[in-house]
Amino acid sequence: MPLDNAINIADLAARARRRLPRVVWDYLDGGAEDEATLRDNRAAFERWRLTPSVLTGNKQRDQSVELFGSRFLGPFMIGPTGLNGLFWPDADLELARAAADAGVGFALSTASNNALEQVAAIGAGTRWFQLYPWGDVSFASRLLERARNAGYQAVIVTVDTLTAGKRERDLRNNFSHELRLTPRVVLDGLLHPGWLANVWLNKGMPRFENLAEFLTPGATAAELADFTRSKRNPAFCWDDIARLKERWNGPLLVKGILSGADALRAREHGADGVIVSNHGGRQLDGAPASIDALPEVVQATDGRMVVLMDGGIRRGSDIVKAVALGADAVLLGRATLYGVAAAGRAGVERALAILRDEVDRTMALTGVRTLAELRARDILFPHPASRKISARSELAAC
């Protein structure tokens, strides 16, 4: 089926779902426990409506944004995700190339399947490195040194996974960082021959390549997965953020912030930016939707640090809403993963083009020309149904 038939992100998701075995799809798509936060990440966008503005005479819009000295052609970038090699061979490279071609940034996960140096070698593009604060200080220092040498411009420290979320789809599928070839998984693979030939028979189980140097040469994917599990460090704390900032000595963002108080703590400990995120609903189920947590963080930080957000972005209008609520830009998680899982680099290119087009249309229909104008104008209002609920609760309180 030609990719032009995918006219929105949901179409790419449907194609990805058909192509992937169930266990891989569940890893990509699932969330923690009852998946309430996962669902709310989407539902919360629906609770905001946009005010149209007509006959403005605007012929063109500019959706570009500058972040830490790099200009992105849209207020979005590809966020860090691990084990991308399960979706497509060399998926980290394909995602990074598509981002560079689209003129937006790419963040590489510590848990990538292409080594950070290999991704840097693609050349053009703005790349950030996402660090999991695993193990001791020497582990983080070594990865930061490699990221600096390879030309990564910023580092994201993800702080919401020091304790693993309870991802029940993965538990049911007996999946944790690696595919175990149970009869069910083998049958699942055979029923998805495209994926089987293109990923499994072609490359086998992808390894955490960034970590290979910490183990003996030739470590298997299973040994590297064991290594990541053994290195979780629940003792990591705010002072460690200050230490990392000192070592990195460049732009550092803390990812996994959902309150104004934590954003201010990040700032006190040297962070230049925060990413308002609940890890795509994969960690604390019951945490607020990211878009609901965003205004408090924007208010607390008051323009003194970069504020990004992620979680539930599937439409250009979601991106416009996030910027209208004060985000400098957003990160894409599943939106571009659906693309890469559906059709490799072409699928990612499609996802980025769809979102860019939808951002432009939404700006045109709401009558704004630039992101600065979008932030200054009050184009959002709560969905009438949610206003009724709050009016009723105010009455009840009287």
Ligand X SMILES: Cc1cc2nc3c(=O)[nH]c(=O)nc-3n(C[C@H](O)[C@H](O)[C@H](O)COP(=O)(O)O)c2cc1C
- Classify 249 in phi/psi space as left (phi over 0), alpha (psi -120 to 50) or beta: left
| The two three-digit tokens of residue 308, written as one number | 């990004």
Of the two residues 27 and 139, which places its CB atom closer to ligand X in the complex? 27
Strand ranges, E, within the chain? 48-50, 65-67, 70-72, 76-78, 106-108, 127-131, 154-158, 252-257, 273-276, 306-310, 329-332, 380-382
Q: How many residues bind ligand X (CB under 6 A)?
A: 24
| The two three-digit tokens of residue 222, written as one number | 């299973």
Interface stretch with ligand X, choices 8-16, 145-153, 202-210, 306-314 (CB under 6 A): 306-314
Residue 251 found at the interface with ligand X (CB under 6 A): no
Residue 81 found at the interface with ligand X (CB under 6 A): yes
Reduced to 3 states (helix: H, G, I; strand: E, B; else coil), residue 328 is coil
**How many of the other CB atoms lie within 10 Å of CB of 48?**
21
- Considering only residues 9, 12, 13, 28, which one is a binding residue for ligand X as defined by CB under 6 A? 28
Reduced to 3 states (helix: H, G, I; strand: E, B; else coil), residue 77 is strand
Of the two residues 311 and 326, which places its CB atom closer to ligand X in the complex? 311
C-beta separation of 70 from 126 below 8 A? yes
> Smallest gap, in angstroms, from Cβ of residue 397 to ligand X?
34
Interaction residues for ligand X, span 327-356 (CB under 6 A): 332-335, 337
Residue 80 found at the interface with ligand X (CB under 6 A): yes
From the candidates 177, 192, 279, 383, which is the catalytic residue?
A: 279
Residue 310 found at the interface with ligand X (CB under 6 A): yes
Interaction residues for ligand X, span 129-188 (CB under 6 A): 130, 158
Catalytic annotation on 279? yes
Residue 273 found at the interface with ligand X (CB under 6 A): no
Distance CA 36, CA 30 (A): 11
- In the bound state, the residue with its beta carbon closest to ligand X is 333
Binding site for ligand X (CB under 6 A): 27-28, 41, 79-82, 109, 111, 130, 158, 255, 277, 279-280, 310-313, 332-335, 337
Q: List active site positions.
A: 279
